[in-house]
Structures are given as C-alpha cells and as structure tokens.
Chains A and B, each alone.
Chain A
Amino acid sequence: MGGTSSKLSKDLLSEYQELTFLTKQEILMAHKIFSELQDKENGPYGARVSMEKVLTLPELKSNPFRKRICQVFSTSDLKDGSLSFEDFLDLLSAFSDSATLEIKSHYAFRIFDFDDDGTLDARDLEKLVNSLTGETDDTRLTGEEMKQLIGNILEESDIDKDGTVNLSEFQHVISRSPDFVSSFKIVL
C-alpha cells in the first residue's frame, strides 16, 4: 500500500503515474489529503480510511452518489466502503480530466448498479432517478411519473429488449452524449 504518513517514494510516484491518469501534482495532492484523513482516523485499520471519513471531503460531501462511489472503488474484504490510498487514486483517476470515455462510462455503470448484479434493471433505475431528484418525499417523482420514465428509458436504451440495460447498451447511450466526459469529473 502507499505510504501513510511518510512521503511517497519516487518509484511509487512514477508507478502511480504509469498506472493512472493523474499527473504528478494531482498524485501528491491526493497523498496529502489522504494523509490528513488518516490522521483523524482512530480505527484499527491503519492503512484504510473508513467511508464516513472519506465522505467528509468537500468534493464528495453533497454528491448523492457518494456512498456508491466509495463502495465501487473499495477493495476492502469487509465490503464496508473503506478506501486505501490506492483505491483513492483509482477513484481520482477515473474521475480525472484525462480519463477516457470508456473508463468513465464503465465506472458510471458500476456506480449506478445499486445491487451489483451487472445490469441496470427497473429497481436500479428507480434508485438512480431518486438520487438524481432528491431523496425526500416532496422531491421524488410520483409513482405514475416514475413508471412512465422508467418505461421510456428502457424503451430507448434497452436494445435487446431483455428488460435491463447492460454495459454495452449503457455505453452506447453515453457515447452519444457530448457533455458526459466534462460532467463526470471530480478535481481536488
């Protein structure tokens, strides 16, 4: 794992530059922020930062998908969404400026797949729409509208008509959007 409170060695730095889309400055900044998060951590997992601590970052605090993002990038065996430094770098790399459309759409698909079954079915879509519009009762769409919306989405993007949206269909929709790459971005 990456260095905790010590500085990053040059080899590790160049290795991370090789394996992610981040520049040297971005990796160093990520290291600094991650160390600050770790200092506040009191738990037994020295090298991992718990999900609650990660979600205190201003870039993630108000994102409605923050929990899913942590869960997708986490490599913890406990599936608790805690992130190691390398997970954190993976996260920043996928959300960086220079990441390709394929990587972004891949991770977007995984974030939207709330039940982790590899496809977006009607339940996933409903949770997705609720995250987009707001979770409180007065900000949700009505049941009628939700049904109409999900029906429309499946009609437009489910090419093979199996009732779910798989990764290729998802990427097909994304490829036609010119704004996706610039909106799927988190910069520290």
Chain B
Amino acid sequence: MELREFNNQVHPSPDYPSPYSSQHSLRLRTGPTQDTSAVQFDWSSPPEDAEDSNEPQNLRELPLHMSLKRAVWQVQKMKVPVVSSSWNIKRSKTFHRFCEVAKYILSYFVLWNRGIQRIGGHFGGGVRSYFLFLRFLVILNFLSSLLIAAFVLIPSIVFRSMKFNSTIALTVNLNGTESCLHYDPKPDALMVFYTYFLDLVSGTGFMEYSYLFYGYYNNSKIESNGFSYNIPLAYLLTAAFYFLFCLICMIIRMGGTARLVVVTGGGAVGGYSMLVFTGWDHGLQGDRTTKLKQNNLRHRLQVDLEEERLKKKAASLTLGQTVSLYALRVFLNLVVLILIGAAFYGIAEATQFSQSRKTTGFVGLLLQYLPSMVITASNFVVPLLCDKIALLEKYSPSTTVILALLRAVFLRLVSLGVLLYTLWEQITCKGEINSGNCEPCSYYYDQYKCWETRVGQEMYKLTLFDFLITITTLILVEFPRRIVVDHCSCKLTQWVGRQEFLVAPNVLALVYSQTVVWTGALFCPLLPFINTIKFIFFFYCKKITLFQNCQPATRNFRSTTSNFFFLLVLLFGWMLSSVVLLYSVSKIHPSYGCGPFRIYPAMWEVVPEAVKMLSSSSKEFLFYIGSQKCSIPLFIFSCVLLCYVNVLTSVHGKSVALLRSQCKLEQRDKQFLVRQIEELNATMQNLHREPQQPLRETEPFYHTSPQWNQYNNYAFDPNEDPNPY
C-alpha cells in the first residue's frame, strides 16, 4: 500500500537497540492517543537488512549492544551453509587480520607520526597542519637530494677521482673571448681560522670551489667501453626533472586537500553545526586541557556570532558611511603598497651595494649578508605595520586574516624576486649584453668571473641566514619571554603573555625557504640536501618551543581550507623559481671559465646537440612530438576532457540539490499525512461520543476502530496487512 511503502522510503524502521522496550518501535510524534510525556525513543528492533541479506554482514558495524550482536551472529551462523562458503569467509577474515597487522606495523614507519599526533592532541588542527606541511617538505627535499646525488654528484665524484679525460674538443670559436676563460677561485694555502669560518658561512674561499657550487662541475663527457655519460646533459635534465617532480608531488597533495575542500563545501557552509557537533576532542585528558578546549570553543563561537552580527550591521550602513569606509580602505591600501614598495627599494639598493663592494673580514661578511638582513627585517616589520593598519580598516575577522596572509605572501615572494632582478641587472648589465662592461663575454666578467656560482652563493647565504635567525629567535626571544612571563607577575608581562604559535607566519617562512632552495638548486646542487637538514632541525626546534613556550591558540585555524591555501602559495613560489630556471637556462650566456656548460652559448644548447647524436628514428619521433601536428590535437583533446569533467561536476552538484529538496518535500508530505490522521482520529472519537450519527457514514470507520486502537499508529507500523481503506 502506498502509505507503507512511502513510510519505508522516508523512515527506514528505527533500527537502534534499546534495553528498555521489546515491542516494535514507534516513531515519536505518532498517535495522538499515545502518552507524549513518557517518550523514550526506542532504538531496539534489529535492522531490516540483517534478516534479508544472505551475505555475512559486518557485525562490528551494527550499532547494537553486545548481547544483541551476539544474537545476530548466531542467526547468521545458522543461515550460512557451512560447507560451501566457509573457506571464503575464512580467507576474507585472514586477509582482514593481515591488513590490520600490516597497518599497525606501517604506522611505526611513518616519519614522526606519534609526535605529530601528540601535537594535534594538545594544540589542535591548525598547528598540526603546520607540522604536516613541514614533514611533506622534508620528504620532498630528501627525495630531491637523492635524485641530484644519484645523477649529478656521484658521477662527478667518480669521474673526477678516476681522472677521466674530457673528450670534448674545444671547437668553439673564441672570438676575442679568451680573456673570459680565467677563473681561479682556489684559496690560499695558508688560512687563518676565522677566515675558514667566514668562508664556510659565506660560501667563498674553499667552499666556492667544491661540489657545493656550479663552478666545480666539469663539462666531461665520458665514453668508454660502450658506456657513455654526458655530465652537462645530466646536470640540466636532473634540474628539469627535479622541478617536475616537485610539481607533481605538490599537485597530488593539493588534489587530496581540494577534494576535502569541495566535499566540506569550503568549510564555511555548515560552520556552526559542524563546530558544535564535531568540535569536542574526546582524546583530551586532564582538567586543564579540558578547560582550555572549552575556552577555545567558547571563544570561537563568540567570535563567529559577533562576526555575523557585524556583517548584519555592515549591511545596514547608510550610503554616506559606506562611501567613507570604502574611501578609508582605498587610502589604507595605498599606504600598504607604499610600505611594500619602500621595502623593495631597500632590498634593491642593499643588493647593489653588497655586490659592488669587496671587503674582507667581518665587515665584508656583514656586507655580504646585507641583502638577507634587509629581506628578513622587511619581512618582520612590514607585516606588523600592516596588522596595525588592518585594525583601522574594519573588515570582518576572517577577511582580516586572509588579507594579512595575502599581503605577507606578496611581500615575501616579491622581495625574493626583487633580489633576483637586481642580480640579473648586475650580471647582464641591465639586459644589454653588448654594451659596456658586458662587452666581450656577454656578462659582467670583471665582477662575476663565474656568475652561476655567485647566484648560488646568494641563495646559500639566504638559506643559512634564515636558519640562523630562526634559531636565534628561539633562544634569545622565546625562551626568555616564557621565563619572564612565568616568574614575573607584573601587569605588563601578564598582558604580553606567553607566546602563541601563529601558524600562518610560520608556514610562509617555510614557503619562502623552499622557494629560495628551488631558485638556487640549479646553481648550488647540494642546496636541497642542506635544506633537508635545516628543516629536520626546524621540526625538532619548533616542537620544543611549542611544548615549552607556547600556549594553545585562543583562535583556531581552519585546517582544511588553509592546507589548500598553503600548497597554493607553495605553488606560486615554485612558479617564481621555474621562471628563474627557464630564463637562466635559455637566455643568459653560461660562464666561460667554469661549470659544465662553459662551451655552449646557452645552457639549453646541450639538449639539441645530444638529440643530434641519437639514432634517426628516435630523432624523428622526438621531432614529431614537438611539432604542431601532434601538439594541437593533444591540446584540443585535453580541452575536451576538461569540459567533460566540468559537466560531470555540475551534474553531481545539481543532483545533490535535487535530493535535498526532495527530502524537504517528503517531510512536508509526512507532516500533511500526520495532520490528516490526527483529524481522522479526532473525528472518530467524536463519533464514539455521538452514536446518533447515521451509521452508513461511520461504517467503514467502525470496522477499523479496534485496529486503530490496538496499533497506536497504524500508518507507521510496517508489518500490518493493509486493510482498512
């Protein structure tokens, strides 16, 4: 009957166990004759599917008490024919057992798993996402350094130690460029200790002519006994593959987080119910952590509610107020841009100044580190000022956070870009390679005898300085702050309070370091390895400072959307460094005196030459792939694929919306029917009290009245045979 089927669709019969009643369950808000005061929802009848299906159901997933689960199990055991499928069941059981054991063992091998879980338990999802991001970068750098070591470093070491003779004939036409060939970075034999330390820290002297930098690698092409290895080609292709590898890793990770973002609707929808239903972490132990978490949740709720009230108020501003607010915002944005521009100018000047001076000793070291210092100072001061300005702009709290992040990202990445641009200007005499200082060698030979090594040195210095500053801040700022706050109880220290672990600036620092490493990897092949060690240090140092010095954040970070945002910023950094890579590979003339590309007019030229030496069929194949005959159809095909996936997404979205509206409709129908039944019941009761009513009209009801009385709500009892109507 329609009612029963309708009911089964809308309300699968309540299938939750309860020790309180053994009768068939009834839904609340049912019969009007039922005593509504003593309502206890009955979760007791076993699920419908258990009796129908023949497959052994997964018992653990039944939300029943143990005794009921055992009963279901007994029933299942009796049903399942012993002979035929017992082997299958046993096999699947052992397979499941094996999977559990394997998962348990593998969880030990995941790097820092327990540490990160502990961090998440104490400090929440936002801080945990920072450490997950750090772990991802450590693994990425480690794998990249393995790659570079395998294809570039180890062959170079082997060939150099075996003193293979280079078989590249110097057939290049040196038109007046003989002067460019001189490059002699070998240090003096006698060295004072402090010079040794200075060289270590600035990458000059003994460090310069070592495997660390580009200049040490030879352009050897080894061919012996049928084994050939072309170092220049290996160097270039390894660098290119390293970039591709990083891109693929990032995209895979972004894909995972993007799926979460799409599924959770960006985290903004359903914010309140999500927070209230899933906000509590049952793993927390101890009164102190519980109180902290409760404070945290209360604060979040209050902030969100206030933000909503502010939005409503903002929507109700008068025209005059809106105009003045927007004018203020435009003005403040201009101020921010001016500040950032000033920072860029400072960086450019510092770079030029430091590149053109050559003093030795401690002053020389300071001068060499001047660009790094200016960048770090501006990255610290400008966001601070921007935060103060943001207070005046009166955005809602979440918009303020996003805006601050965007400004900080812009500042960091573009300041690196300014540094690189200034270097380029110096090296290539502002792009005019045939004028002035760049005359014979197409680069500024007098200052840059081996310009790639110099660029590598700058990146090396940036990396080291970043590491130094972090460790120094830790020791000189965070620990003393905690000691002062804990032991001195004056008002000022209590107002300043303990350090809070701010996730966003820390993540941006990681992104900045990684971008520096990517930019410098072509010129300083060991930089990924140095970075791996640096990030491992970071992990332990940050963990120590987190547990010793920091308090749990009062304002939580939305982890899923912010994970996606961090990876996006990392991707921007990657794009910046790939621009540098492409430009230096194709446009700037490699140094004549050093490095594996010394005889080529551009680093890229290695590849066409190598392709020429391939067999003709491979050559034809490669030319075909690169030609328009192949690339245009490929492009069209990928466009078609993109359109298809897009259409699929929109169809799914539409079906979700359709199902939601169907839910609403069904509930309205249910309410309508309930009202109908109530009315019928009421009429029936009236008829009982007034027996003078003509019998004919009441006959059909009279027959059914015992049934109405016996089953409180007939319409919702699925086991009764349909009869009355």
Contacts and interface: CB of A to CB of B under 8 A. Distances in A.
Interface string B645-665: 000000000000000100110
B276 A177 contact: no
B398 to A, nearest CB: 16
Contact of A173 (B73, B273, B294): B273
Given A75-B67, A86-B66, A18 B283 contact: no
B8 to A, nearest CB: 14
B41 A118 contact: yes
Among A73, A113, A177, max chain B CB count under 10 A is at: A177
B433 to A, nearest CB: 53
Interface stretch (B263-271, B415-423, B576-584): B263-271
A86 B65 contact: yes
Nearest to B58: A100
Interface in B611-648: none
Interface string A148-188: 11001100110111100100001001101111101111110
B284 A62 contact: yes
A19 interface: yes
Given A86-B65, A183-B278, A98 B272 contact: no
Interface residues of A, number: 73
B278 A102 contact: no
A23 B100 contact: yes
A87 B17 CA distance: 13
B545 interface: no
A21 B60 contact: yes
B28 A176 contact: no
A64 B294 contact: yes
B297 A170 contact: no
A77 interface: yes
A81 B309 CA distance: 42
A77 B19 contact: yes
B100 A95 contact: no
B440 interface: no
A160 B665 CA distance: 8
A44 interface: no
A33 to B, nearest CB: 14
Nearest to B282: A186
B559 interface: yes
Interface in B262-316: 263-265, 269-274, 276-287, 289-291, 294-295, 297-298, 301-302, 305, 308-309
Contact of A160 (B265, B298, B666): B666
Contacts of A75: 19, 65, 67
A43 interface: no
B187 interface: no
A186 B283 contact: yes
Contact of B282 (A77, A116, A159, A184): A184
B19 A149 contact: no
B73 A18 contact: yes
A86 B282 contact: no
A134 B294 contact: yes
Given A65-B280, A90-B65, A149 B39 contact: no
Contacts of B285: 58-59, 61-62
B79 interface: no
B63 to A, nearest CB: 4
A89 interface: yes
B20 to A, nearest CB: 8
Nearest to A170: B277
Given A93-B60, A145-B301, A174 B277 contact: yes
Contacts of B65: 73, 75, 86-87, 90
A134 B291 contact: yes
A15 interface: yes
Contacts of A113: 41
Contacts of A37: none
A149 B290 CA distance: 22
Interface in B203-256: none
A158 to B, nearest CB: 9
B114 interface: no
A115 to B, nearest CB: 8
A50 B16 CA distance: 24
Contacts of A185: 282-283
Contacts of B598: none
A139 interface: yes
B671 interface: yes
B5 interface: no
Contacts of A134: 291, 294-295, 298
A79 B667 CA distance: 33
Contacts of A112: 277
B56 to A, nearest CB: 10
A7 B468 CA distance: 58
A54 interface: no
A62 B667 contact: no
B67 A86 contact: yes
Contacts of A153: 272-273, 276
Interface string B26-66: 01100000000001110100000000000000011101011
A103 interface: yes
A133 interface: yes
Interface string B125-149: 1000000000000000000000000
Given A19-B59, A129-B276, 20 more contacts: A15-B70, A18-B60, A19-B60, A23-B104, A62-B289, A117-B39, A134-B294, A149-B272, A149-B305, A152-B272, A153-B276, A156-B271, A160-B667, A161-B664, A162-B671, A176-B265, A176-B270, A178-B263, A183-B281, A185-B282
9 contacts: A18-B59, A19-B60, A99-B60, A100-B61, A117-B28, A117-B41, A119-B28, A133-B301, A159-B660
3 smallest beta-carbon distances between A and B, as pairs? A118-B41, A160-B667, A86-B66
Interface of A: 15, 18-21, 23, 58-59, 61-65, 73, 75-77, 79, 86-87, 89-90, 93, 95, 98-100, 102-103, 106-108, 110, 112-113, 116-119, 125, 128-129, 132-134, 139, 141, 145, 148-149, 152-153, 156-157, 159-162, 165, 170, 173-174, 176-180, 182-187
